[in-house]
Structure formats: structure tokens, C-alpha cells
């Protein structure tokens, strides 16, 4: 019977002829999470497992003179590890590798790990932790950016600057001198806590000649490197098997290397499995946060609103150790001039050391800070020039063939103007702005309760670079592996982590697209460094774009390999599956593909010029809100988010990413205030550190434009971080219309709004 008349074959052809990409296929791990079967690190069996804890410094800056152990406690029933017990190198390998796993000399932040204890039960562990006292000699702490820049020494032989970036395009100084108008502004952004679903946690299990690490993470191979270095083992002796991970947002990129190392040190000395899991207060107080920033703008304009020059000074508070600050700074600097065409730009950027806990990765990776400053400053400049902020953006938006601050040319996919116009249309921006102005005028003269209400609408226009900065993608040489199974299905092996964003599902979709097979026939294997290749970190919006491109290519090569060995093209899906099963019965069938930088990609790390990223996504965010001037409370009425992400892999997941990113950014803009005192987060609990709840999530219009980028075989350019970058400045700009006040910092809490409103009224 011809294949077209076979109902089974016809169904299979339909399944893959519709293609896998762009379909809302079922979530792979959804049922297990819904039914409570998903195994997080704290769900692992507890038999024979000891529990670990951390002895922490209780001062922000001091010399460590000694450790006293209370003789009234029976120390024979626990295991204690200090820096002296580390068999390898006492270092956490992140970029500059300046952070010790356990300090033995200088304490650089409150809560820095000094010793570790493991005990057979949590009660004994707590008694042991309470029986340790640190002897210290105080040193002068530094908490403010200006004090750090004044070279109060925190780090030996250092000017307190982890990295300095000097990015130049044209001659900004000369262009500012010739500008019709020069406008200056200073902007501040605060720290932000990740508040992932599941706190940091690891379990280490010693083996005959190595160690197995299980836990919550984003980057398994980071942990392989870190634990191997700490224990003095070859990397192949460290096996990392991730558990289900309850959220990351960047907080589980580099920090898990530290806690995994601690668990491994305890397991190594105790010679038994050790589980180390932070409670929520410990997690809030001592783990990394978004970098606080100060950004100064000096901008030159023609009188009709054309950008002539941009001079930007950017400083990030990196905390006590560099961790990822040099890379966060780089992305922040490259994005600081935004999606605009300007021929003369100078960006001076520094990440400085303070006696706060080390900062780290957070969704957006430095771009939200610099984009908040830019987009808020543009509305401020428009007001000073007496121009419409929409017209200012239209006049200066970058177009295909234009060059960004780093000199990178943008191609035909640079749909910045299109996302702006679509957002204006979808939000009915112009009409609502006028309606709100009328509402505010009426409210100002009202005698009813309405007199306390003001409304505003604001927007921001922004972009996000896809993948790792500069040459970093080439450094990782990421790999993916496709393997045929005896049942004819194809397994996909990567170390990409499912942290709630749908990785397992889209990995299967991407491979299925390349294979031209139904997605149900593709198995996304759980990461395990014993068998999974190093696909690079699950960060930087690179999963669907960079690694997704490798999966498409691997699928195509796998199909070609099967067809070659089978004697020719196989059009029938079931016949292809049978061919895979037959070939696997004879010998292993697999295809491995590694990343190679495109031949037209060039980046100069010294000058920060060239192709900073493989591609860019573009977005416009519109926020409408209402303010109660009696209480300072802000209610977000609705959000419109339009983004060009190249190609949408899974529409439902993509919409969820936007909704989640916008909500997280609204929290940063309006309520998430880390309160610091002497280097300690004072509101380290979920009562006092306020995040948006379901009641705070406004209606959202989510719109996707698709301009595929030619550097990726499927055109997808990434999405995860982009939605978190635009809402904060859109909020500030909406508040400007509502209250007539220029807000130059986030979070904009009632404690900020009310004094500013009273000053304006007086």
C-alpha cells in the first residue's frame, strides 16, 4: 500500500510536517511538579546523611585571629572543616578567582564563611554552630561607592576596582562642546534578591576516589571545576547530578560552586554523604544580589532632539569579591547607550569592592541598571528640550546598517522602530496619555477622594544581547549530543538546566525540528556530567538561540547519518524510527556538535569594539499606573510588552517568560528594597522583603514580532532576560506624567513618593 494511504504513516508525516517549533507542546516535567513527584535536593533520601552548616563572620571587615571551640560541647560527635583542612586550592574559581572557599585571614563581609560543621542531626548541628566563637580585630569597613572609589583599601595591592571598562566611539568630548544643549542626570538602582522558589542547597557523596554532587544549580560544569580544584581532584573524579531546581534567575549560576564546595569538603572529611541547605533567612542574607549601580549621564542634543553625544559614567557595587562582576559590568556598559544611533559615545564603567556580600548574576546581568538610567534620562531630556519623548526616540532609534556603542553593525533584524510603533498602537499610548492628563487636571481641583489619585503612562525602548559577552561563547566551545535508542527514539544530551523556564521541553522541540520527527520521539535526558557534554552555562538567554542552533544542526546531521547508512532519503517518520532502531542494534549511533564562532564575528576585548553579541533582541515596554498621593501606593493598571525575539520556539512558554520577567522587574521598580546596615541585610525575611504577589500582577498584553537572525539556523534570538529590562524605566516615566516628578532611582517606594510629592506641592 502506498505510504500516503497508510493512516498510521500519514499521521506521522502530519506530526512532523507541521514542524516542532512554534508549537505549544506539553511541558515535559510539568506532571511531576504538579503531582509532587519532582525530587528537589531536600527530597533526597536521608538515610546515612549528615547535615552541614556554616560558621560565619559576624563583622563586615576584620582580621581573623582565631577560632574558639567551647569545651563544654562534645566535638567528637561532629566534623569541623576550616581552611587548613582543604586538600586542594582554597579558592572559588569565578573569573578573577579572588574569593576563598573559607577565609583564614581577612574577613571581607558579614557572613563570610570561616568554618563548616557536619553533624548526624540538625539539633546537634545547631548546638555545635552555637559553640563556636571567632576572635577578630576590626578593620574599617567600606559600604558606599564613593568610599570605595576613594581607595580605602579592601583588597591588597588594589584600588578597589575589580574591572574598569573604557568604551569609546567617536569623540564624545568634542561633540558635547558643539552640541546645542547638554543635559546631565544621575541615577541609582538598588540591590534585588532573586527569591527563587527553592533556597540554595547541595548534597555531596564521597566515592572511592572522588565525589558525587547533587543539588540546585544552573551550571553543572562550573561545579565540576570548582569542587575539583578545592579537593585537589582531576575533574573526571567529580560527578555532578543536578536535582530538580526550583528557580534560578542567575542566583544559581556561580553561588552553587561555593556551597557545593562546602558540602564536598564536609563529605570528604566525614567520609559520608553531607547535605547543606540554607534556610530562607540565611539564603536572603548571605547569597548574591543584583548589583546596585550609580549611573551619570551627560548628553548632547540638537535643539530638535537629535542625539549628538553621550558621556556615561557607570559604577557597580560588586561587594567583597569579584565573582561575576567583571562580566556583569561589561554587559551593563555595552547596553548603556541603548538601541540608539549616536556617533560619539564614551562609557567609563567600573565595578568596585565594598564590604557587602559579593554580588552576582541576576536576570538581565547588568543591563537593567544601565537601561533604567538611559530610558529615564531620555524622558528627562525630552522634557528639558520641550519635546515629546516618543518623537525623541523615533528620531534617534537605530536602524538596519546602524552601529551600536561598541561599533557593532545591526542587520535587517533590527526592528527597534517597529516594536516601538507596535507598542504605541497596542497600548493606545497617545490617546491614554491625553486622557490621563485630563484625569489629573480634573483630580487636582476635585474635592472628593478622587483628588488623591493621579494616573500616568510611560514607556521604555531597549535591547538585549544574545549569549555570552564578546568571545566567551568561543571559549566554552559548547557541545550537544544526540544518541539513537533501541526503540528508535532519539535522546538529547546537554547540561542545560531546567529551572522553570521549560528547557527540557524546548530542547526536545529544537532537536525534533532538526530531525524532522514528532517531538514525542525525542527524549531530553536529565543532565549528568558523567555522560552529558558541556553545553555551556544555562544563562544569558543562550539556551534557545546558541545551544538551540547546535541542536538543530545536530538533528540535521543525525538524520543525514541515518539516511546515508540506510541507503537514501527516508520520507516516512515510522520508517525513519525503524531505521534508527535497526542501526542501533548493530552499533552505537550518535552525533556530537560543538559550537564554533561564525567567521564574520570579531570582538576586541581590549577596546571593547566589534561584535559584542551574536544577535540582539529588541523590545518596548509600556506601563500605565495610578498613584494614591495620600499613601504613596502605586497600582499598575496594565503593561504592554512588544518584543522581537527572532523566532518563538514555544509561544506559551515565551508568554510566561515575559509575564514573569515583567512582574519581577515591577517588584524591583516599586517594592523590593534591600535594607542594609553595616553590611547586613536587615529585612532578610519574606515578611519584610516584599515581592509582588498574584494580587500585584497587572493585566498584560504580550506581543511577539519575529525577525529571524541568520546566525542561527532556526532564527531564534533568545528571550529570558529581555522582559526584565524595560518595566522599571517605564514605571519611572509613567510616574513623571502622573506626578510631574522626575524619579531617578529604584525602588520607588511610598517612602520615596510621598516626600517628593509634598515638596512639589509646597
**461-484 mean pLDDT:** 96
CATH number, domain 42-140+194-286 = 3.30.365.10
- Return the H-helix or E-strand segment holding 548: helix 548-566
Residue 155 has pLDDT above 70, yes or no: no
The chain-wide mean pLDDT, for the chain, equals 95
Which 3 state secondary structure label does DSSP give 609? strand
Residue 15 has pLDDT above 70, yes or no: no
**545-565 mean pLDDT:** 98
CA distances from 517 to 545, 580, 676 (A): 20, 12, 54
Q: Where are the domains of the chain?
A: 3-38+472-594, 42-140+194-286, 145-189+292-363, 412-466+614-761
Whether residue 209 contacts residue 237, with contact meaning beta carbons closer than 8 Å, is answered with yes
* CA pair distance 32, 28, nearest whole angstrom: 9
Of 668, 701, 644, the C-alpha closest to 432 is 701
pLDDT computed for residue 110 by the predictor:
98
pLDDT computed for residue 157 by the predictor:
53
* CA pair distance 708, 747, nearest whole angstrom: 35
Residue 204 has pLDDT above 80, yes or no: yes
Q: Which CATH architecture has domain 412-466+614-761?
A: 2-Layer Sandwich (3.30)
Of the pLDDT bands very low, low, confident and very high (cuts 50, 70, 90), residue 547 is: very high
pLDDT tens for 646-657 read 999 999 999 999
pLDDT computed for residue 221 by the predictor:
98
Which 3 state secondary structure label does DSSP give 451? helix
Which 3 state secondary structure label does DSSP give 197? coil
Q: How far is CA 196 from the centre of its chain?
A: 12
End-to-end, the C-alpha distance of the chain in Å comes to 88
pTM over 0.75: yes
**397-418 mean pLDDT:** 96
More confident residue, 452 or 449: 452
pLDDT computed for residue 151 by the predictor:
73
pLDDT computed for residue 3 by the predictor:
34
**Grid cell digits, residue 503:** 528547557
* CA pair distance 251, 241, nearest whole angstrom: 19
pLDDT tens for 482-537 read 999 999 999 999 999 999 999 999 999 999 999 999 999 999 999 999 999 999 99
Q: Which CATH architecture has domain 145-189+292-363?
A: 2-Layer Sandwich (3.30)
Of the pLDDT bands very low, low, confident and very high (cuts 50, 70, 90), residue 159 is: confident
When the candidates are 3.30.365.10, 2.40.50.100, 3.10.20.600, 3.40.50.300, the CATH number that belongs to 3-38+472-594 is 3.30.365.10
Q: Is it true that 3-38+472-594 and 145-189+292-363 share their CATH fold?
A: yes
Of the pLDDT bands very low, low, confident and very high (cuts 50, 70, 90), residue 447 is: confident
Of the pLDDT bands very low, low, confident and very high (cuts 50, 70, 90), residue 14 is: very low
Whether residue 573 contacts residue 12, with contact meaning beta carbons closer than 8 Å, is answered with yes
Amino acid at each position: 500500500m502506498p505510504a500516503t494511504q497508510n493512516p498510521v504513516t500519514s499521521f506521522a508525516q502530519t506530526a512532523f510536517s507541521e514542524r516542532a517549533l512554534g508549537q505549544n507542546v506539553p511541558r515535559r516535567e510539568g506532571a511531576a511538579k504538579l503531582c509532587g513527584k519532582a525530587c528537589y535536593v531536600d527530597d533526597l533520601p536521608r538515610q546515612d546523611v549528615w547535615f552541614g552548616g556554616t560558621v560565619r563572620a559576624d563583622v563586615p571587615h576584620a582580621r581573623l585571629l582565631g577560632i574558639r571551640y567551647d569545651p563544654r560541647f562534645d566535638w567528637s560527635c561532629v566534623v569541623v572543616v576550616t581552611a587548613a583542612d582543604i586538600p586542594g586550592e582554597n579558592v572559588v574559581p569565578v573569573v578573577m578567582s579572588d574569593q576563598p572557599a573559607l577565609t583564614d585571614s581577612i574577613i571581607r563581609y558579614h557572613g563570610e564563611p570561616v568554618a563548616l560543621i557536619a553533624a548526624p542531626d540538625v539539633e546537634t548541628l545547631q548546638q555545635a554552630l552555637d559553640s563556636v566563637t571567632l576572635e577578630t580585630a576590626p578593620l574599617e569597613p567600606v559600604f558606599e561607592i564613593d568610599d570605595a572609589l576613594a581607595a580605602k583599601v579592601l583588597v591588597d595591592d588594589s584600588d578597589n576596582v575589580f574591572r574598569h571598562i573604557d568604551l569609546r566611539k567617536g569623540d564624545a568630548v568634542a561633540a558635547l562642546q558643539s552640541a546645542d544643549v547638554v543635559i546631565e542626570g544621575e541615577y541609582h538602582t538598588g540591590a534585588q534578591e532573586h527569591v527563587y522558589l527553592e533556597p540554595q542547597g547541595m548534597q555531596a557523596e564521597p566515592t572511592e576516589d572522588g565525589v558525587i554532587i547533587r543539588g540546585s544549580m544552573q551550571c553543572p560544569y562550573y561545579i565540576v571545576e570548582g569542587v575539583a580544584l578545592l579537593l585537589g581532584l582531576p575533574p573526571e573524579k567529580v560527578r555532578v547530578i543536578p536535582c530538580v531546581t526550583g528557580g534560578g534567575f542567575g542566583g544559581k549560576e556561580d553561588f552553587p560552586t561555593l556551597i557545593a564546595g562546602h558540602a564536598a569538603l564536609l563529605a570528604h572529611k566525614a567520609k559520608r554523604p553531607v547535605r547543606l541547605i540554607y534556610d530562607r533567612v540565611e539564603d536572603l542574607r548571605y547569597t548574591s544580589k543584583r548589583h546596585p549601580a550609580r549611573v551619570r549621564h551627560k548628553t548632547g542634543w540638537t535643539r530638535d532632539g537629535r542625539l549628538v553625544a553621550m558621556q556615561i559614567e557607570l559604577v557597580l557595587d560588586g561587594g567583597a569579591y569579584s565573582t561575576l562582576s567583571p562580566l556583569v559590568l561589561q554587559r551593563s556598559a555595552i547596553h548603556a547607550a541603548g538601541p540608539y544611533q549616536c556617533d560619539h559615545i564614551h562609557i567609563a564603567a567600573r565595578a568596585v569592592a565594598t564590604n557587602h556580600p559579593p554580588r552576582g548574576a541576576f536576570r538581565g546581568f547588568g543591563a537593567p541598571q544601565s537601561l533604567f538610567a538611559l530610558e529615564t534620562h531620555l524622558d528627562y531630556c525630552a522634557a528639558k528640550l520641550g519635546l515629546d519623548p516618543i518623537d525623541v526616540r523615533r528620531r534617534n532609534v537605530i536602524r538596519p546598517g546602524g552601529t551600536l556603542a561598541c561599533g557593532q553593525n545591526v542587520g535587517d533584524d533590527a526592528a527597534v522602530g517597529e516594536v516601538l510603533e507596535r507598542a504605541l498602537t497596542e497600548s493606545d499610548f497617545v490617546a491614554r496619555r491625553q486622557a490621563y492628563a485630563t484625569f489629573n487636571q480634573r483630580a487636582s481641583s476635585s474635592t472628593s477622594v478622587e483628588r488623591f489619585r493621579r494616573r500616568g503612562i510611560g514607556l521604555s525602548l531597549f535591547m538585549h544581547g544574545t549569549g555570552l559577552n564578546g568571545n566567551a561563547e568561543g571559549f566554552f566551545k559548547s557541545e550537544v549530543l544526540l544518541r539513537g535508542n533501541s526503540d528508535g527514539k532519539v535522546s538529547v544530551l546537554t547540561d542545560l538546566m531546567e529551572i522553570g523556564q521549560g528547557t527540557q521541553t524546548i530542547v526536545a522541540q529544537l532537536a525534533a525540528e532538526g530531525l524532522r520527527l514528532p517531538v514525542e520521539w525525542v527524549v531530553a535526558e536529565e543532565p549528568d556530567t558523567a555522560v552529558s557534554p558541556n553545553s555551556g552555562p544555562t544563562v544569558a538567554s543562550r539556551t534557545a538561540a546558541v545551544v538551540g542552533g547546535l541542536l538543530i544542526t545536530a538533528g540535521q546531521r543525525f538524520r543525514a547519518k541515518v539516511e546515508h547508512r540506510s541507503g537514501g532519503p527516508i520520507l516516512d517518520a515510522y520508517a525513519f524510527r525503524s531505521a534508527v532502531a535497526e542501526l542501533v542494534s548493530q552499533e552505537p549511533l550518535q552525533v556530537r556538535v560543538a559550537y564554533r564562532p561564525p567567521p564574520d564575528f570579531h570582538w576586541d576585548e581590549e577596546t571593547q569594539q566589534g561584535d559584542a553579541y551574536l544577535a540582539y533582541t529588541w523590545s518596548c515596554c509600556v506601563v500605565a499606573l495610578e498613584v494614591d498621593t495620600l499613601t504613596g501606593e502605586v497600582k499598575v493598571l496594565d503593561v504592554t510588552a512588544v518584543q522581537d525575539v527572532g523566532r518563538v520556539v514555544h509561544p506559551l512558554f515565551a508568554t510566561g517568560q515575559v509575564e514573569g520577567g515583567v512582574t519581577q522587574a515591577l517588584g524591583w521598580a516599586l517594592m523590593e528594597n534591600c535594607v542594609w546596615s553595616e553590611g547586613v541585610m536587615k529585612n532578610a525575611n519574606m515578611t519584610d522583603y516584599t515581592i509582588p504577589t498574584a494580587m500585584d500582577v497587572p493585566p498584560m498584553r504580550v506581543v511577539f514580532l519575529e525577525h529571524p537572525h541568520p546566525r542561527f539556523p532556526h532564527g531564534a534570538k533568545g528571550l529570558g532576560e529581555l522582559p526584565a529590562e524595560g518595566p522599571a524605566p517605564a514605571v519611572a516615566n509613567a510616574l513623571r506624567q502622573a506626578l510631574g516628578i522626575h524619579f531617578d532611582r529604584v525602588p520607588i517606594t511610598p517612602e520615596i513618593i510621598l516626600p517628593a510629592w509634598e515638596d512639589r506641592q509646597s
